[in-house]
Amino acid sequence: MPGNIKIFYNIKTGKEYGDVGFDASDFIFDDALDTLVLILFLTDARVPVREALGSRRGGFWGDPYLTEFESSLGSWLWLLARANMGKETFRKAEQYATQALEPLKTWELVTSIDASASNDEHYLNILIKLTLDNGAIKKYNIKIRRLA
């Protein structure tokens, strides 16, 4: 079997979530990079107390098992769900996206990460460009539903 079970980003139902796909008789597989990107975006990374939303700090069950090089996997993008859209929010979204994908550089899966944020009526859009070691560029357009 090639790669890992592929996770798809589903935004059609009004709620964003990752889901696995099936073809006629089995899971759909990929080369792992697509799935890693989604996992890093869809996992709410733990934030310091000063950044918490009330008592919510995020994080996931695997945080205690990470090494000193990976203090928390995932992104802080969940902090922006209720933010007003503007230059400061876009700057934070780009920063949080790049920070979330840094493990891909540590694991030597990509050589550079470029993120740019914008919005439309209902979503914060984040365009990601990852440069692979062979010079190829993979693009991802991640949409995060705005709650504000």
1 residue type, one letter: M
Q: Tell me if 54 is assigned to some domain.
A: no
pLDDT cut 70: percent of the chain above it: 60
Please tell me the predicted confidence (pLDDT) of residue 10. 60
Strand 137-145 relative to strand 17-20, pairing? unpaired
Q: Which residues form the domain of 114?
A: 4-49+59-145
Number of domains present in the structure of the chain: 1
Q: What confidence tens digit (pLDDT) does each residue in 18-46 have?
A: 555 656 665 555 667 877 888 788 788 77
Q: What confidence tens digit (pLDDT) does each residue in 86-111 have?
A: 889 899 999 999 999 998 898 888 99
Local structure of 4: helix, strand or coil: strand
Q: Tell me if 23 is assigned to some domain.
A: yes
Q: Tell me if 67 is assigned to some domain.
A: yes
CA-to-CA distance for 132 and 127, rounded, in angstroms?
16
Instruction: Give the CATH number of the domain where residue 137 resides.
Output: 3.10.450
What count of Cα atoms within 13 Å lies in the side-chain half-sphere of residue 109? Answer: 14
